[in-house]
Amino acid sequence: MQPTNHNIMQSGGVPIRLWTDGVPVEEQAREQLIKTSQMPFIYKWMAVMPDVHLGMGATIGSVIPTKEAIIPAAVGVDIGCGMMAVQTTLTANDLPDNLRGLRIELEKAIPHGRSATRGRGSNRDVGAWSNPDGTVKAGWTTLVDDFNYLCQKHPKLKNTNNLNHLGTLGTGNHFVEVCLDETNQVWIMLHSGSRGVGNAIGRYFIELAREDMRKWFINLPDKDLAYFAEGTEHFDDYWFAVGWAQRFAFKNREIMMENAIKALREVIAKPFEARVKAVNCHHNYVEKEEHYGEEVFITRKGAVRARVGEYGIIPGSMGAKSFIVKGKGNEESFCSCSHGAGRVMSRTEAKKQFTIADQITQTEGVECRKDAAVVDEIPAAYKDIDAVMHAQRDLVEVVHTLKQVVCVKG
């Protein structure tokens, strides 16, 4: 086993291993971790990444291994949220001097923000969806069929926005960026997940799990730790549904990336190749994996899988660096790494503390919105990405360092 650099916190449950050397961990997050660690089906220990902070349902930046049970609220409602990045053959010299036109073209190409819910596709029949160039994407028919099957068993899900958000970015910390790496090569990077339909699936099954706990008189340290036991009907349905949402999220990022590449071609006349290198990874999800000789469910709540040689993406804030990384396969972390810098304050607190002038200063050199609606995403609301990367130096190695020059926020 390779040398490792982390602390161990005893909790009254399984041990909690924290890769947080040099980065702050709020007390509320520690309390939330302790409650989760006391669940009887946690396997061996929990792993905590350096971007850790208090979350809804479970602590963001935590890796939760379970035997014969899954906690839906730990997976959360942004099921399959993750990152995609592609390297192009363009260099910094190929970009226009004024990047505002490129940002506007990206905003036109990819529905984003709350208006995306009323945008492209919102009135279309589920089975007839096609992307803007008129071709049905590979795997779409299977997604539709599987969603219809899910709705037959759980009709309430049919009354959501269904699949209408496919190809849309969303709100909050979701983004599309044009970045330059250490050799001034141009990359496109984006962050999004399963959108409204994943949210509906998450909320629906979280409530079902709570109902199961009430039905069986199971007392929990926190209602968000309601779970499904393997082999029960609701477990099987949730496993199917969460897998579907994760496939939807993966496809959503692929479609947005294709449209982002087209937007670049609209602005940049020079022919170029995209996908010279490409990474597409989840950081809010659950998978069945083998660890220490046993098959277990691994819930990564704001964490990326980092097996030996496996590529991942760790973004900083909209004014900082981001990283393309390669996993070192550290088993003590269940082969995981952080999913970003991690917040140091809530969105509400950020809006209280910072002004538009602060946002302008902290995003200098980045072509992005600089208004009141995005102050909650100000770089100072996030941890120092360099400290976060140092704390997980035994989990990943840096392959590329990216600096954004254009950022589209959801």
**Is residue 2 included in any domain, yes or no?**
no
pLDDT for 222 beyond 50:
yes
What confidence category does residue 138 fall into, taking pLDDT thresholds of 50, 70 and 90?
Answer: low
Question: How many CA atoms lie within 13 Å of 126's alpha carbon, on the beta-carbon side?
Answer: 16
**Is residue 372 included in any domain, yes or no?**
no
Residue 161 is predicted with a pLDDT of 65
156 lies in which domain range? 7-344+382-409
Active-site hit among 53, 174, 282, 339: 339
Domain count, the chain: 1
**Is residue 58 included in any domain, yes or no?**
yes
**Is residue 376 included in any domain, yes or no?**
no
- The strand pair at 336-338 and 16-18 is best described as unpaired
Contacts of 174 (CB under 8 A, 6+ apart): 112, 190, 191, 192, 193, 409, 410
Region 161-165: mean pLDDT is 72
**Is residue 356 included in any domain, yes or no?**
no
Residue 123 is predicted with a pLDDT of 31
Contact between residue 351 and residue 389 where contact means Cβ atoms under 8 Å apart? no
Residues 281, 268: Cα–Cα separation, whole Å: 28
Give the pLDDT confidence of 103-116 residue by residue, as tens digits. Answer: 999 999 999 875 55
pLDDT for 144 beyond 80:
yes
CATH number of the domain bearing residue 243: 3.90.1860.10
pLDDT for 405 beyond 50:
yes
What confidence category does residue 130 fall into, taking pLDDT thresholds of 50, 70 and 90?
Answer: very low
Residue 164 is predicted with a pLDDT of 77
Residue 134 is predicted with a pLDDT of 42
Residue 165 is predicted with a pLDDT of 84
What is the model's pTM? 0.93
* Residue type, position 8, single letter: I
Q: Is 53 a catalytic residue?
A: no
Residue 162 is predicted with a pLDDT of 62
Secondary element (H or E) of residue 88: strand 82-91
Residue 3 is predicted with a pLDDT of 52
pLDDT for 118 beyond 60:
no
**Is residue 369 included in any domain, yes or no?**
no
Pull the structure tokens for residue 406: 């254009």
Residue 116 is predicted with a pLDDT of 52
